[in-house]
Structure 1
Amino acid sequence: MTILDSSELLAQLPSELHADITHMVSELPDLFDQRRLAEMDAHLAGRVLASSSFIQRQAVRFPEISEKLLQGVDPINWCVDSLFEELTGRVDGVTDEATMMRLLRQFRNQYMLQIAWLDLAGAEVDSILQYLSALADALIRCAVEWAYSMACARSGIPRDEQGKEQQLIVIGMGKLGAKELNFSSDIDLIFCYPSRGETDGTRSTSNEEFFTKMCRMVIRLLDKVTVDGFVFRVDTRLRPFGESGALVLNHDAMEIYYQSHAREWERYAMVKARLITGSKEGKAELTTMIKAFVFRRYLDYGVFDSIRVMKRQIEAQLQKKGVEHNVKLGPGGIREIEFIGQAFQLIRGGRDKALQARGILKVLGLLADRNQISPLAAQELSEDYRYLRRLENHIQEIDDRQTHDLPTDTKNQLRLVLSMGFSSWLELLEKTQQTMKRVHQYFDRLVDFDEPTEQTDNTDWLDLTEEGLDSFLAAKGGSVSEETRKGIIHFCHSYPVRQLQEKGRQYIVRLLPMLLERLLIVEPEEKTVLIFLAMLEKICNRVAYLVLLVESPSVFNQLTRLAILSPWIVTQVTRSPILLDELIDPHSLYQVPSKDELQADLDNALLSIDSDDIEAQMEALRLFKQTSVLHVAASDLTGTLPVMVVSDKLTEIAEVIVEKVVTLSWKSICAQYGTPANASAQSVSGFAVIGFGKMGGIELGFGSDLDVVFLHKEAQIDEMTVGDRAISLGEFYMRLGRKIITYMVTRTFSGLLYEMDLRLRPNGNSGLLVSSESSFEQYQRKNAWAWEHQALVRARFVAGCSDVAERFNKIRSEVLGLRRDITTLRNEVVEMREKMRSTLLTKKQGFFDLKHGVGGIVDIEFIVQFGVLANANEHDSLLTYTDNIRLLHELNKIGFLSTLQQQNLDGAYKAYREASHHASLAEQPTMVPVDVVEEQVRQVALVWDEIMINN
């Protein structure tokens, strides 16, 4: 065999690196010969070999691997399970620790050789990070499995108090947890086991002692330096209580620590936590606990304080000498990119579960998608991250050392220039400096959570006196009434405020002057101040919301603006403070979703809730309604939605909720009692919800209840469901109706969904909860009063089975289309109107009752209903719509109303509806000063007299 003249490998390499290549060729004469050289890219091989002393050493130790690499063969299946399977095959039968250590280290070095070669040969950095993380997982799992078997052989299997086997859970932190491990990284681990108990061996020991000894063995297997080196340096200082804490804890102890003792920076550390070993059940339970600790359900602006502290610590470290060329810790280094992503994750990850992703590149993309950072920022930071991570790996691959500093010696600088593809050290240095400068600019700009300017006034807000308040107001040029003054003093001395912990006290002291200046000086609204303080008194124990109002000027400004316009909004926030989150993005706040978007949002809200967790479903439904209605209210108050669209949107929200409640109730009842024959538990069959009143007329307001009737298909009296607990279909549909009502009217922490009114069903409150199609038809044809046919004008199918909907529509059309004696009908309608007015009209000097006053909403509705019932037998077009505005147009088309009458009624109805909406949002009765609607009242009363009295 002719030994290669190394000139081919040395070509285009700096002369300073020739000696290493020549030495390696002499060490591997069988590998470097003319024949093999012809099969490979000599220049690529020369560059890779010259760039890394580590590769040179390992190539000599493992020539068979080097040969495959030189031939361009990637021999690795980078699946963790495959690596683990190969490794466990190698250590099978090993019983002594020294042999186990040797095999683990050999495996590690062989695969690190291949990873370093692939990296230096130009593989994508994302793949290299994944390969390193997969290798670490396999090695950790193997070490844990072996240590467990040895410990069990000595002490028996650890079990909980119920006798269930316990397994060690290893939590990978940092870059290991995110599967972004760098080449010579140490690994941050936390150890945990599920439950207290003891082993079942003859030498029984507590689970705590068992797993403590086992963890020490795992650390030795990985961390101890032998003649073969080490596997990974193991750092366990991130565990509860740090170095002074127990090496391993059970689930309960972990939960107590993270609920009661953990510091804010530990939430940051846990963002990337990933469970590597353990049983499926044990890992699921621990994952739930960790996520609850890290990611708050609300948008967590309380994390600003800890972010500020950590940012200041980073900036302090940047002042130290020697970090300017540290690609991880220097200004604009890898840590700052990670910090940007994790800051947003901590703030928003509780509400937006996608942001709970561990990888920084994915997080940056998600932040751009959600308009938290610009697409350009995400693109540039991703490019910079990949560059810096590749550079970091190449630095560490020079000699397998955990360093992040650019080399200072000429030889290693040449190696780095060669591996990174630059023409000179100056060019590499300039590129690196430009990259880090850009990152640092983003770091300063995107994590711009500077401490707000401290208040300069000396007011002692928590011991506020009337003199102190007057002094504050005088300095600002304002004054208040005695009632408002007493309200402010009362708030400051109230029990909820007095019992606040230090952080809450700090924020309430900062919030109060902001609030008073805004609502007493800038835009004097004394009534709003008192309403706002009442809200704060109820929610101040949830300090996160005080933090949100102080830390986010946009939220504070939005809420005070809307509070001035609508006390109703403040009431809703008081009931569900999580609604404050909706105020963060003004653009989003005034975007009212379409019905399809509402359905998708509700599906997502329920996606992670167990099917049998009805309480959680109820809470999710209520929060969905409150959030959705808030968007409509904000848009209504600011004039971005026309009045009719407001009602449309409120009705769509109700429809989406009813549809979902019917589906959830159907699945629940089917799970208990089986399904009707030929029906599926996944699809509602033979049942329908019919909307009446404002629901049926697509005219819901902010405080409307739902008038509904439940119908079911015809069934034989003895027909039963198909299931283990079969019941009659009549009973089945009755239970379904009750379940729907339970979902809707049960008062949870967030209140109820909607009040339900079922009095329009056949025979009213004395009738069956769910009516069959035939009984409903028979009642409408033979027993219903004229006012019940009036109600049928506004009735429509809302949710459930399309077959029942079709049957209902047929019944409705036929009943409304019956020929009636017009005089009798007119008398009955007028009589019912007078009865309603006599019992429901609200009288107040100088004010008009929008609903029941003469010339009000009900007069318009009764005119429409009379017109439909009097003419539907000859005009099918009157059977198409259920809302008053379109019916007014149809009545005009058939000549029942003149154009002037239709226009006057149309204009008055819209004006009344808008006034009603705003009265609800102002939490006022539906009364307005007479002079505001005087002209509309006159016009409606005139049409009433023309149609109903004088005709």
Structure 2
Amino acid sequence: MTAFFERITLSPLVYDAARGADALDTLTNSLRAAADLAPAAALLAEAPKVRALLSATFSGSPYLTSLALRDPSTLAECLLRDPDAHLAEARKGLAEAVAEAQNAREAMALLRRFKHRIALLTGLADLGGVWSTEATLSAMSVAADTVLEQATAFLFRKAREAGQMNPQADASSAVQGYFVIAMGKLGAFELNYSSDIDIIVFYDAERAGLRPDIEPSTFFVRLTRELVRLLQEHTADGYVFRTDLRLRPDPGATQIALSTDAGHIYYESFGQNWERAALIKARVAAGDGEAGEEFLHQLAPFIWRKYLDFAAVADIHAMKRRVHAFKGHGAIAVEGHDIKLGRGGIRDIEFFAQTQQLIAGGRHPELRTRGTIETLDRLASGGWITPEAARELTGAYLFLRRIENRLQMIGDQQTHIIPDDLTELARVAALSGFADTNAFGDGLIAELKRVEAHYGALFEKLPEPSSAPRLVVQADEADPAALASLERLGFHNPQAAIAAIRAWQSGRYAATRSGRARERLTEFLPALLDAFSRTAEPDLALATFDKVIAEMPAGVQLFSLLAVNPSLLRLIADIMGTAPRLAHIIGRRPRLLDAVLDPGFFGTVPTPAKLKELVGNALAEAHDYQDALDRARIVGREQGFLIGVRVISGTLSARQAGAAYAGLAETLIEALAGRVEAELVRQHGRMAGGEAAVVAMGKLGGREMTAASDLDLIIVYDYAGEGAQSDGAKSLPGPQYYARFTQRLIAALSAATVEGS
């Protein structure tokens, strides 16, 4: 084993010499004041490399300075011991200490002190070149695993002590039936310095060994909530890791711990292509490893498809645009550039690799790797990319991850943005080993452009989708690029828009529950968003469309129609944005849009004879009087919808629309009056010499109706002679006969049935 100080090969450059010197003096005095730290004090006096590393680090990183000065003994251990052995022994020591912790407060303190130790060790090892960038990322990931393992074991121990576990259950394992899946960078052992950890928690109730009277879901949700508290609650000792559970299935509607059965059902029935990509890096980080590995093994067919379908290709495009709105994102820059999500950034490299894993991993198991660098190497070995592409992308990835770590070492903040303040930019440049900001900027720009070139070349091989952003929104939160893209499209509340899109894509609504429905929706969603953006109120248009989808029992018919008829999308958007009543009709009867596709639709309106034929045919199929009323409402609503569509499209003026609505009303009144009369004759017979007329008044009489106009009618009638009676079995006198006719006609026109009024 080789001591840390003997492995130092690099040093940051000095940013603030006075600050660095002051901190180094303070540290030296602390080491000299403690007899047991004399070897470290002597090392500082005798080792120029150590002094250079520490003074430069202290000059640029307030966070690392605070860790070192707060705990000089830990710093001494970091410098004097072999770093790999130090990490291993720290992990072992944490396990032993947490096993003796009496309560959550003690466990939380132990976890936080461990994190401080690891943060100091990895920060110095990274800055000093003691560990490679890959080794640094791996060390942070291993530390996170250790924290998850020990926190989970502690909670199960306390549950066992509280009598919540079945005494007859197998106690050979500390944790049974409960496991934590590491996702994202943690899953790939690529955790950055101040990263959140993305996890999903599952449990298998049959393996858990709970007491029979304890409900598993309640128990494991409560335990998971406590696990998160142990890790991320801020105490006097700080926090351990910010913990994110939002990559779980349908996070807006599910508990923070899910049964394995629920997980399988979700992924098999509703899983999205972005979730396939996310699960590429999934692994068991803590808990019951056997149960977790079995669960992931069963998910393999979902993640790795033998064939790439259209929806997967579309989602790959969407993932690309979700990162940085490829066509609309600002140019590569230094100041203010997001090295994770921006053009040429870390996410581009990850998606470059994951895209090809999704495409080919089903047929080529050797591509089913988690780490980005390993995946690039496998892609090159298999001939999927050139060795040059793999070499350049690997170099860029390591460079950007080093810069990312240094950005976060400054203040223990999860940031990926290059400062636009020149003073702070100089700090980052110095920590990164560059002589000045110009050299730093040149190096950064060169790497970003290399990534951009390879990334663009890959996606040129796929057909270009709509220019609108493709949003395959992750279950955690929208990327800033997606929000910005929606804002550019005119959405005032992009968060609400993304929440609605997330609901569609998660299969939360009945209309999007089938995979086929979601595939069709994916095909036209970008163009639909673009169409919404061209309305006066994009937010209203999208919100109305969301309500329509939420009410639909199935979506395949409508989505398929829109997917293959992009010309309809602008019309649909206009309807959603200006006529919510018409929008809901589309949801109930998408077949109405077939008529709109007729080239002659917008040029004319049905003639009175054609309307009479349409209404007559509809009522002719009625099984009885009530069915006739329902069918009249259906045909009336459908024809009214088509008039409204013509108005919205601008092919029908308000005056023409008034006449069209009046003509439709007259046709329906005439048809229903005939049905009412026939029903009256059946019950009460005919009135000798009797006749009646319906006189239109108001807007109907003036043929100036709108879609919401009431009907103002007068019924006039006549019959033969005073005291005449109808000739039916239940005869009625003339006035009562026609009063009954009037009442029934009003009911036929306005009474609510299952089809409305």
Q: TM-score under structure 1 normalisation?
A: 0.44
Residue type of the partner of 2:144? A
Deviation at 1:34, TM superposition (A): 7.1
Deviation at 1:262, TM superposition (A): 1.8
Q: Distance in 2 between matches of 1:276 and 1:120?
A: 27
The count of aligned residue pairs is: 453
Q: RMSD across aligned C-alpha pairs, in angstroms?
A: 3.4
Aligned equivalent of 1:256: 265
Q: Secondary structure at the match of 2:181?
A: strand
Partners of 2:20 and 2:55 within 8 A in 1 = no
Q: Distance in 2 between matches of 1:62 and 1:109?
A: 9
Q: 1:97 to 1:394 in 2, by over 3 A?
A: same
- Correspondences of 1:745-784 after superposition (within 5 Å): none
Deviation at 1:444, TM superposition (A): 1.1
Q: Distance in 1 between matches of 2:236 and 2:326?
A: 36
Q: 1:108 to 1:349 in 2, by over 3 A?
A: same
Q: Distance in 2 between matches of 1:500 and 1:186?
A: 31
Q: 1:101 to 1:411 in 2, by over 3 A?
A: farther
Out of 91, 105, 108, which is 1:101 matched to? 108
Aligned equivalent of 1:440: 452
Of stretches 20-29 and 336-345 in structure 1, the one that deviates more from structure 2 is: 20-29
Aligned equivalent of 2:372: 360
Aligned equivalent of 1:57: 66
Out of 160, 168, 186, which is 1:152 matched to? 160
Residue type of the partner of 1:140? L
- Correspondences of 1:368-517 after superposition (within 5 Å): 368-448=380-460, 450-451=462-463, 501=516
Aligned equivalent of 2:19: 19
Q: 1:162 to 1:51 in 2, by over 3 A?
A: closer
Q: Deviations over 1:684-739 (max 9, x none)?
A: xxxxxxxxxxxxxxxxxxxxxxxxxxxxxxxxxxxxxxxxxxxxxxxxxxxxxxxx
- Correspondences of 1:103-122 after superposition (within 5 Å): 103-122=110-129
Deviation at 1:312, TM superposition (A): 2.2
Deviation at 1:146, TM superposition (A): 0.5
Partners of 1:159 and 1:197 within 8 A in 2 = no
Residue type of the partner of 1:223? Q
Partners of 2:97 and 2:110 within 8 A in 1 = yes
Q: Distance in 2 between matches of 1:508 and 1:319?
A: 20
Partners of 2:179 and 2:289 within 8 A in 1 = no
Deviation at 1:188, TM superposition (A): 0.4
Q: Distance in 1 between matches of 2:448 and 2:118?
A: 31
- Correspondences of 1:730-809 after superposition (within 5 Å): none
Partners of 2:63 and 2:410 within 8 A in 1 = yes
Q: 1:444 to 1:78 in 2, by over 3 A?
A: farther
Q: Distance in 2 between matches of 1:428 and 1:402?
A: 21
Q: 1:85 to 1:508 in 2, by over 3 A?
A: closer
Aligned equivalent of 1:181: 191
Q: Distance in 1 between matches of 2:259 and 2:322?
A: 32
Share of identical aligned residues, percent? Answer: 31
Aligned equivalent of 2:99: 92
Aligned equivalent of 1:31: 31
Partners of 1:170 and 1:190 within 8 A in 2 = yes
Q: Distance in 2 between matches of 1:317 and 1:152?
A: 53
Q: TM-score under structure 2 normalisation?
A: 0.55
Partners of 2:179 and 2:203 within 8 A in 1 = yes
Q: Distance in 2 between matches of 1:52 and 1:28?
A: 18
Partners of 1:197 and 1:207 within 8 A in 2 = no
Q: 1:158 to 1:282 in 2, by over 3 A?
A: farther
- Correspondences of 1:643-792 after superposition (within 5 Å): none
Q: Distance in 1 between matches of 2:372 and 2:27?
A: 42
Residue type of the partner of 2:76? E
Partners of 1:83 and 1:135 within 8 A in 2 = no
Aligned equivalent of 1:702: none
Residue type of the partner of 2:235? T
Deviation at 1:405, TM superposition (A): 1.1
Aligned equivalent of 2:145: 137
Residue type of the partner of 2:112? R
Partners of 1:51 and 1:419 within 8 A in 2 = yes
Q: Secondary structure at the match of 1:170?
A: strand
Q: Distance in 2 between matches of 1:508 and 1:394?
A: 41
Q: Distance in 2 between matches of 1:299 and 1:51?
A: 48
Q: Deviations over 1:354-380 (max 9, x none)?
A: 111000101111111111111110110
Out of 146, 159, 170, which is 2:180 matched to? 170
Q: Distance in 1 between matches of 2:136 and 2:314?
A: 35
Q: Secondary structure at the match of 2:340?
A: coil
Q: 1:386 to 1:115 in 2, by over 3 A?
A: same
Q: Distance in 2 between matches of 1:183 and 1:432?
A: 19
Q: Secondary structure at the match of 2:411?
A: coil
Q: 1:420 to 1:507 in 2, by over 3 A?
A: closer
Q: Distance in 1 between matches of 2:79 and 2:361?
A: 46
Residue type of the partner of 1:183? Y
Q: Does 1:291 align with 2:303?
A: no
Aligned equivalent of 1:215: 224
Partners of 1:334 and 1:388 within 8 A in 2 = yes
Q: Distance in 2 between matches of 1:216 and 1:433?
A: 43
Q: Secondary structure at the match of 2:366?
A: helix
Deviation at 1:21, TM superposition (A): 3.2
Q: 1:167 to 1:505 in 2, by over 3 A?
A: closer
Q: Which has the larger radius of gyration?
A: 1
Deviation at 1:137, TM superposition (A): 0.6
Partners of 1:16 and 1:411 within 8 A in 2 = no
Q: Distance in 1 between matches of 2:158 and 2:448?
A: 48
Deviation at 1:204, TM superposition (A): 3.2
Aligned equivalent of 1:4: none
Q: Secondary structure at the match of 2:363?
A: coil
Deviation at 1:451, TM superposition (A): 3.4
Q: Distance in 1 between matches of 2:305 and 2:170?
A: 33
Partners of 2:58 and 2:64 within 8 A in 1 = yes
Q: Distance in 1 between matches of 2:12 and 2:169?
A: 69
Deviation at 1:44, TM superposition (A): 2.9
Residue type of the partner of 1:207? P
Deviation at 1:253, TM superposition (A): 1.0
Aligned equivalent of 1:232: 241
Deviation at 1:318, TM superposition (A): 8.1
Q: Secondary structure at the match of 2:276?
A: helix
Q: Distance in 2 between matches of 1:508 and 1:31?
A: 65
Q: Deviations over 1:617-666 (max 9, x none)?
A: xxxxxxxxxxxxxxxxxxxxxxxxxxxxxxxxxxxxxxxxxxxxxxxxxx
Out of 274, 288, 291, which is 1:279 matched to? 288
Q: Deviations over 1:97-153 (max 9, x none)?
A: 112111110111011101000001123101111111111111110011101111232
Deviation at 1:276, TM superposition (A): 1.3
Deviation at 1:268, TM superposition (A): 1.4
Partners of 1:159 and 1:207 within 8 A in 2 = no
Of stretches 188-197 and 379-388 in structure 1, the one that deviates more from structure 2 is: 188-197
Q: Distance in 2 between matches of 1:155 and 1:263?
A: 40
Deviation at 1:506, TM superposition (A): 10
Q: Secondary structure at the match of 2:85?
A: coil
Q: Distance in 1 between matches of 2:138 and 2:463?
A: 38
- Correspondences of 1:903-942 after superposition (within 5 Å): none
Partners of 1:158 and 1:166 within 8 A in 2 = no
Partners of 1:391 and 1:420 within 8 A in 2 = yes
Of stretches 38-47 and 425-434 in structure 1, the one that deviates more from structure 2 is: 38-47
Residue type of the partner of 1:127? A
Deviation at 1:448, TM superposition (A): 2.8
Q: Distance in 1 between matches of 2:409 and 2:444?
A: 18
Q: Distance in 2 between matches of 1:291 and 1:14?
A: 49
Deviation at 1:428, TM superposition (A): 0.2
Q: Distance in 1 between matches of 2:323 and 2:15?
A: 40
